[in-house]
Amino acid sequence: MKKDRKGLVLFSGYKRGDGIKRALEIGRENILFELKSSKLKGRGGAGFPTATKWMLTAAAISEEKFLVCNADEGEPGTFKDRVLLMEYPELVFDGMVIGGYTIGAKEGIVYLRGEYEYMLKTLEDYLEQMRKDKLLGDKILGISDFNFDIKIRLGAGAYVCGEETALIESLEGCRGESRNRPPYPVNTGYNDRPTSVNNVETLASVPHIVIKGGDWYTKHGTDKSSGSKLLSISGDCKKPGVYELPWGTTVREVLKIVDAEDSKAVQIGGASGVCVPVSQFDRKLGYEDIATGGSIMIFNKNRDMLHILKNFMEFFVEESCGQCTPCRIGNVKLLEGVEMLEKGEFTFEYIEKLIELGKTMQISSKCGLGQSSPNSFITILENFKDEILNKRGIGVEI
């Protein structure tokens, strides 16, 4: 079932267990060294340096630590983690074993999105095979003091449970709500133990880096954004799908690769990402310009931007965990604003106020969900003001 995919890193050749073997050969410090020189950043969206996260978890003093693979993949428009898990489980699980070894965890947990339940059997079978091959379980590859096993836990369908602290709450059997920070999971995570939460793609990048070295990895991508990125591309294009591209690729190049015509907007980073208009198609994907967890949605000239925005806002109104004021009520107000625009019953002054409110939400919400939910509202209204107003026969602001 594996598709014939080509890519620089993840979609290049790899043999199961090689990364683990190499990791055990070079030892913890060298793994961290290679990771640090690779400048690998978390692929789940926040872009936190993976070497730092693992170093902090490794340095935390505790008799028990955990490594969690975040496979909640809830951001609208992403499906790259699914591809990795189904087609490249050797990368993801080897990455977890290496991570467990590096930070000193004995247990790895895959938090699998509820909708991916159908993969469960395949993945469990795969893990069983790894155990038989001594890549998992007690004394991995015969090393007497290295025991590590992986279990899979299913999520229950809330988007916010992809946020690492809400994920941990959910793992502990509580309502999916994000926690106060500090402290961070690297100190006090699952069951109060130091926990490293890493995205599927982050983990999948690790075996390659361990084998080929950090310097090799930085040859790809840009100075600030090393390596490659999996992009889940959907929307108005002829060749949607998952692509591995080096960081630094421009929006225009992406559109060309997937054969998109008459594009007028690209939503980068899912519902919580930003909306890029034609005039900005030369912008680059990368932490220095447009960072993304990998969701790319392409809209052509026939699409109604306001309608798209409404979809996004409806998503957040529903998916906010409801804990903090700015996010719980703020998103409702932004959605109401969209509906006012839809009906043409609004004042410019009020829409300005809502944009200001959006900016407050970005800085005062308790977690990343509320902090990023106004992004599309702000960028779509900024970039497509004329379209939104003209389409409804309302003159542009004088």
Please say whether the beta carbons of 97 and 188 come within 8 A: no
Out of ligand SF4, ligand FMN, other proteins, none, what residue 134 binds, judged by CB under 5 to 8 A for its kind, is: none
Please say whether the beta carbons of 249 and 284 come within 8 A: yes
Out of other proteins, ligand SF4, ligand FMN, none, what residue 183 binds, judged by CB under 5 to 8 A for its kind, is: other proteins
- 385/348 Cα distance (integer angstroms): 11
- For every residue of 138-193, DSSP letters joined together read SSGGG-TT--BEEEEEE--S-GGGGSHHHHHHHHTTS---PPPSSSPTTTS-GGGS
Tell me if 313 contacts ligand SF4 by CB under 6 A: no
Out of ligand SF4, ligand FMN, other proteins, none, what residue 362 binds, judged by CB under 5 to 8 A for its kind, is: other proteins
- For every residue of 35-99, DSSP letters joined together read HHHHT-B-TTSS--BHHHHHHHHHHS--S--EEEEEE---STT--HHHHHHHH-HHHHHHHHHHH
- Of 42, 185, 294, 326, the residue at the interface with ligand FMN (CB under 6 A) is 42
DSSP reduced 3-state for 130: helix
Tell me if 99 contacts ligand FMN by CB under 6 A: no
> CB 105 → ligand SF4: shortest distance, Å?
27
In terms of CB distance, is 180 or 302 closer to other proteins?
Answer: 180
In terms of CB distance, is 180 or 302 closer to ligand SF4?
Answer: 180
Beta bridge partners of 250: 284
- 243/285 Cα distance (integer angstroms): 13
When computed from its CA atoms, the radius of gyration of the chain, rounded to whole angstroms, is: 22
**Where does 266-384 have alpha helices with state H?**
305-319, 325-343, 348-364, 368-372, 374-383
Tell me if 27 contacts other proteins by CB under 8 A: no
> CB 91 → ligand SF4: shortest distance, Å?
30
In terms of CB distance, is 214 or 374 closer to ligand SF4?
Answer: 374
DSSP reduced 3-state for 300: strand
Tell me if 330 contacts ligand FMN by CB under 6 A: no
Piece in contact with other proteins (CB under 8 A), picked from 8-16, 72-80, 124-132, 332-340: 332-340
The 8-class DSSP code of residue 349 comes to H
Tell me if 164 contacts ligand FMN by CB under 6 A: yes
Tell me if 34 contacts ligand FMN by CB under 6 A: no
List binders of ligand FMN among 186-205 (CB under 6 A).
Answer: 197-199, 202
Q: Which residues bind other proteins (CB under 8 A)?
A: 158, 160, 165-166, 169, 172, 174-175, 177-180, 182-183, 187-188, 192, 316-326, 328-333, 336, 353, 356-357, 360, 362-366, 371
Q: Which residues bind ligand FMN (CB under 6 A)?
A: 42-46, 48, 70, 72-75, 159-160, 162-164, 197-199, 202, 367-369
Q: Which residues bind ligand SF4 (CB under 6 A)?
A: 160, 178, 320-324, 327-328, 365-367, 369-370
